[in-house]
Amino acid sequence: MSIYEKMMSIDRRVLFVLIALSVVIPLLKPLLLPVNVTKEVKHLYEFVDKLKPGDVVLLSLDYDPSTMAECQPMAISILRQCFSKGIKVIVTSLARPEGLGTAEMALTQAAQEYHKKNGNDYVFLGYKPNAAAVILAMGENFRLAFPNDYYGTSIEDIPMMKGIKNYRDIKILVTISGSGIIDTWVIYAGGRYGVPVGAGVTAVMATDYYKYLQSGQLVGLLGGLKGAAEYEKLIKHPDMATKGMDGQNMAHLLIVFFIIIGNIGYFLGKRAKGIKGR
Amino acid sequence: MRTKIAERRVEGVNRGIIPLVAFLFLLAIGGRAGAQSSTDTLPPSPPSEVTAFDTHNDAGKNITINWKLSADDGTGRNTVKGYDILRSESRSGEFEMVGSVVAGISTFQDDKVENHRNYFYKVRAKDHRFSESGIVGPVQASGQWYNTNRTVVLIFVVIFTALVIYFVSSAKKGKKLYIRPIPGMDAVDEAVGRATEMGRPILYILGLSTISDVATLASLTILGRVAKKVAEFQSKLLVPCYDPIVMTVAQEVVKNAYLDAGRPDSYDESNIWFLSQSQFAYAAGVNGIMLRERTATNFYLGMFYAESLILAETGNIAGSIQIAGTDAVVQLPFFITSCDYTLIGEEFYAASAYLSREPKLLGSIKAQDWGKMGLIALIVLGGFFASIHHLSGFVNLFTVGH
Amino acid sequence: MRRQIPLAITLVGGVVMIIQYFIPHQISQEIYRGSLDWLMIIAGFTMVLGIGSLVIHHTDKLKHHREGWGYSLVTLAGLAVMSIVGLIWGMAGDKPFMQIFIYAQNPIQATMFSLLAFFIASAAYRAFRARSFVATLLLLSAIIVMIGRVPIGAKIWSPIRLVSDWLLDYPNMVAKRAIGLGVGLGMISTALKIILGIERSYLGGVK
């Protein structure tokens, strides 16, 4: 096998090991590269920042453990911002039942940091199947979809929920998800009931939602781990996302390097064989 | 001597100046107090041009009250703090406050009313005192039977439905309708044949959505046609399902396909089974099937999410021919890099019509094409009008409200 | 009759829900809320159906010792353990159910998702070859966006962020919108075909 053929057909396992090293090494030895804040993240941050103590925000943590690495830092950052400003938070998790555990983890962590009380400062409604039906039902009345919270307490007995009927009583709805439920929130909650919607999505999905930013259907958008790192920078609380950015930097550069090597091998191989391009 | 005189002079000055300063001080405070009390005696200018009407395009039990801002709100004496909205069920009856807004706001929606009951309203501008507008009414709330904000959607639905019915009828009457080749569907025969020659099974993934998703329904249609070919070729078809209801429908679809192909005895229900409703557990399960069974052909047709590349790359590692189709635009690039054929967007919806060549299904594809031509024309017109300042209102014709 | 009744239900249900969208009146909202309730009830019931199918399938594999029966044993054991543990001790944070979830299921699911990082590398390496003009454009766009979306990109070439944003905001958006419009029309067309009874695949047959 010529050198060019070898360049074009490197064993997958070599690629996998190099990718693993490019992520692990910066975690052990941080490079501390600066994170620049994009306008779509800033818009969401500024919207929440302008809210007053006592305002209510709906935060739907529609992800499960598989996308936790990207989504959990976003969720915790937004919760930190809300709790630090005295904003009350209603939390749901509508994508999958497995999302309940991750949602509760994020909520408990942020609430403990800011000494917030369940029922007074936040309420965790939990999960119900058929997200579209639940989203539409909450637009009429939260109690239609969730007569009780996740812990079994009747909504009527929760102090925070007095006077909160539906989307009209909340200032913004932020959904963090690794699935297409964002479209459901934008179309049904935002489109039908007019509540402002913000979103946090995995990096692979982010490009799909720029159209909603352009049309004004989304107030702001956090894309992947970088979006989470940007939000951490804005709330001045660098955490897991910021630490993970170094690994992401290196992995991206490595993939580009692989592509260049593969193409060099391809072109030099073609020239060596004297084949004219298609 | 001089000291005594100086002391007497200082004493004299003190005696004179202090009362003067005190007098001037009292004068100043009195004057200012006089000025304040003269402002406090006047309330702010009242709001004017108050109107109250049944809120449009709603289910009822809602009345909208609009008014012109007080002359002292943001201008004039600029003392207005906000407005109170008062309601009564008779003009001469007692008015109760039903809501308030801050200064600068000139509208309020009263959603605590009953339908078909008379209400009267007045609006009060307030600072330390208040002034009221005149009383407006009677006004009644009621539900509407048609939402005018959605007229443009209705027009589009009617036009598009008419197009579908027209072209389906034309096709049923025998009119020949051309549909361009779809390479992924042309390859189905080749893919199934390859699997038969190699003696390895065919894997069909219906996607990770429920039966109510249009993509799943489109995939079930294609499954029926693929299953018929598999039955004719006497190959093995594996259909691990993400959703239990989709599984039951898929079992019926494949069973009928085998019946149609005249091979009911070859049908094995255990080849269509429920795998998992957890995204990555499902992906892990399918990966295991691909690697253990060494499937010759993989079909990925339906709604997919992040697991798309995991499935497609594993299939690539296993050396399978792969045909994918999805309406999840964000997953298309992953399928394109890893699969041999990819149906992009509507090609996936057209696939069932393409495979069956049924006139009714081809007719609906034609309607889609005409619908697209209409949208393209609107986009061109919209771009033109939006670029001309005094014609940019054209774009507002297509706004859909709540 | 077996086909006529479901077709009639589909037609009536589809037409009623289309008309309901345009009617804001209270009666229309009641119909809408009622159908939402039914959707939630049916969705909850499908879990029972799924568990039944899973148990039957894997029990059958175990009984007949078919290839891969060991995996079926693990599946059934997992289902049994989580159900028993959840029913006896509940699902609160410090209970075994949640501990198994946090320390077993979370890492496994996160691991599966992280496979994407490796597979993207191998897919990009294999597929991004400049075989044609269009493939070269794809390749260059991918490189610019990959480097432009991470902070180190600005250090390598400062305008790359702007170029990357332009690629995402314009060519990418145009393509996605165009495909999205086509998909939207396709969805409406398929939905109409189902409501009007032209498409009957969901009834379990090709005819």
Counting one residue from chain B and one from chain C, the pairs whose CB atoms sit within 8 A come to 197
The C-alpha R_g of chain C, in whole angstroms, comes to: 26
Q: Domain extents for chain B?
A: 1-41, 48-139, 148-169+364-398, 177-357
The shortest CB-CB distance from B329 to any of A98, A192, A208 is to A208
Give the domain ranges of chain A.
Answer: 3-30+245-273, 39-238
pLDDT computed for residue B102 by the predictor:
79
Residue of B nearest to A204 (CA): B330
Q: Does C44 touch chain B (CB under 8 A)?
A: no
Q: How many helices (H) and strands (E) does chain B have?
A: 10, 14
**pLDDT tens-digit map of A185-203:** 998 898 878 899 999 999 8
Report the 10 Å Cβ neighbour count for A253: 17
How high is the pLDDT of residue A127? 92
Nearest to B305 among A179, A191, A192 (CB): A179
CA distance A149 to chain C (A): 14
Mean pLDDT over all residues of chain A?
90
* Test the C interface: residue of B177, B260, B329 with most C CBs within 10 Å: B329
Q: Which residues of A touch B317 (CB under 8 A)?
A: 12
Whole-number Å distance between alpha carbons of B90 and B85: 15
> Taking a C-beta distance cutoff of 8 angstroms, is the pair B196, B235 a contact?
yes
pLDDT above 90 (res C85):
yes
| Distance from the C57 Cα atom to the nearest Cα atom in chain B, whole angstroms | 7
Instruction: Check CB contact under 8 Å for C193 and B364.
Output: yes
- What is the count of residue pairs from A and B with beta carbons less than 8 Å apart? 30
CB–CB contact C23 B161 (8 Å): no
Chain B residue numbers touching A199 (CB-CB < 8 A): none
* Residues contacting residue A236 through CB under 8 Å, at least 6 positions apart: none
Q: Residue B14: pLDDT above 60?
A: no
- State the pLDDT at residue B7: 42
- Per-residue pLDDT band for B33 (boundaries 50, 70, 90) equals very low
The reported pLDDT for the residue numbered A274 is 73
Residues of B in contact with C68 (CB under 8 A): 288, 292
- String of DSSP letters for B266-296: G--GGGEEE--SSHHHHHHHHHHHHHHHT-S
Which residue did the predictor score with more confidence, C176 or B14? C176
Residue ranges in chain A modelled with pLDDT below 50: 277-278
Q: Which of B280, B303, B330 sits opposite A207 (nearest CB)?
A: B330
Q: Do B364 and C116 touch (CB under 8 A)?
A: no
Q: Which CATH architecture has domain B48-139?
A: Sandwich (2.60)
User: 3-class DSSP state for residue A243?
Assistant: helix
Q: What is the band of B31 on the pLDDT scale with cuts at 50, 70, 90?
A: very low
Question: Domain B177-357, what fold?
Answer: Rossmann fold (3.40.50)
Percent of chain B with pLDDT over 70: 89
DSSP characters for B219-241?
HHHHHHHHHHHHHHHT--EEEEE
Say whether residue B310 is in contact with chain C using an 8 A CB cutoff.
Answer: yes
pLDDT (0 to 100) of residue C12: 92
β-pairing verdict for B237-241 and B202-207 = parallel
Q: How confident is the model at residue B133 (pLDDT cuts 50, 70, 90)?
A: very high
Task: Give me the percent of chain B exceeding a pLDDT of 90.
Answer: 44
B304 part of contact set with chain C, CB < 8 Å: no
What ipTM was estimated for this complex? Answer: 0.85
Q: Which of B275, B278, B316 is nearest to B298 (CA)?
A: B316
Contact state of C40 with A129 under an 8 Å Cβ cutoff = yes
Residue from A19, A177, A179 whose CB has the most chain B CBs within 10 Å, to mutate:
A179
- Separation between Cα atoms, residue B342 and residue A165, nearest integer Å: 46
Gap from C34 CA to chain B (nearest CA, Å): 16
Within 8 A by CB and 6+ apart from B31, the residues are none
User: Distance from B191 to chain C by nearest Cα, in Å?
Assistant: 21
Q: Is C109–B280 a contact, with Cβ atoms under 8 angstroms apart?
A: yes
Q: Provide mean pLDDT across the span B361-378.
A: 88
A interface mutation test: which of B279, B303, B313 has the most A CBs within 10 A?
Answer: B279
pLDDT at residue B392, as a whole number: 67
Average pLDDT, integer, range B22-30:
45
Residues of chain C in contact with residue A67, where contact means CB-CB under 8 angstroms, are 113
Compute the distance between CA of residue B266 and CA of residue A109 in angstroms, rounded to an integer: 56
Q: How confident is the model at residue B34 (pLDDT cuts 50, 70, 90)?
A: very low
Alpha carbon distance A18, A21 (integer Å) = 5
Helical ranges in chain C per DSSP H: 4-22, 26-63, 69-89, 96-100, 106-127, 133-148, 151-156, 160-167, 173-195
Residue matched to tokens 């249900």: C13
At C1, the amino acid letter reads M
Which tens digit of pLDDT belongs to each residue from C127-144? 888 888 988 888 899 899
Structure tokens that stand for B344 in this block: 């992009």
Does A208 lie at the interface with B, CB-CB under 8 angstroms?
Answer: yes
CA distances from A188 to A166, A184, B398, C34 (A): 13, 6, 18, 17
Residues in chain A closer than 8 A to B400 (CB atoms): 191
Mean pLDDT, chain B, integer = 85
* pLDDT at residue B11 is higher than 50: no
Smallest Cβ–Cβ distance between A251 and the set C29, C117, C143 belongs to C117
Min Cα separation C113/chain A (Å): 5
Higher pLDDT, A198 or C175: A198
Give how far the C-alpha of residue A242 lies from the chain's centroid of Cα atoms, to the nearest Å.
Answer: 14
pLDDT at B179: 82
Identify the contact set of chain B against chain A, taking CB-CB distances under 8 A. Answer: 278-280, 303, 305-306, 317, 328-330, 400, 402
Query: CB of A201 within 8 Å of any CB in chain B?
Result: no
B253 to chain C: nearest residue by CA? C204
Q: What is the pLDDT of residue B356?
A: 78
Q: Does position C104 have pLDDT exceeding 80, yes or no?
A: yes
Q: What are phi and psi of A50, to 5 degrees?
A: -80, -10
CATH number 3.30.450 is the correct assignment for the domain at A39-238: no
